[in-house]
Amino acid sequence: MMSNNSVAFTKKVTLTSKKPITKENFVKKIKVFSKNILDYLKDNGCSKLGHIKFISTTNGEDYLQISLLDMKEKPKVEGFLRKTFEKIKLTLNIIVFGVKRKDIDKKIDEEINNLEDYFNSS
């Protein structure tokens, strides 16, 4: 059950790159993304983490999920992706408590921009 101080939302993004992105590089950057979000939450009054989940697919046949269920643990990676790809659909789902929606949304947009810049400049 959600309380008044909870934030739950989903954001969908499609990342494209002129050069092939490797699965390993993508996972590495999503883990950095997760860490940055988690650090932000810790520093800005998050009282509880419901979850942070990234669900990624390149063509609907492959699927990679990165889950963060506890603020003290590292992200868990499940599934598989192709070795390389130029386009990937990413669905981000977050449930947190104690942080304002506009603040976490702004941080997520910042991190998405960082991802897009990284993959478009490499």
Q: At residue 53, what is the residue type?
A: K
Among candidate residues 114, 31, 120, 106, the one with its CA nearest the CA of residue 73: 31
- What's the predicted TM-score (pTM) here? 0.85
Residue appearing with tokens 């989940």: 53
Among candidate residues 112, 117, 121, 119, the one with its CA nearest the CA of residue 11: 112
State the pLDDT at residue 10.
92
Structural contact between residues 36 and 52, judged by C-beta atoms closer than 8 angstroms: no
Cβ of 34: how many Cβ atoms within 10 Å? 20
Q: pLDDT below 70 — which residues of the chain?
A: 1-4, 122
State the pLDDT at residue 4.
57
Query: To which H or E segment does residue 11 belong?
Result: strand 6-22
State the pLDDT at residue 89.
93
State the pLDDT at residue 2.
45
State the pLDDT at residue 29.
92
Q: 42 by DSSP, 3-state: which?
A: helix
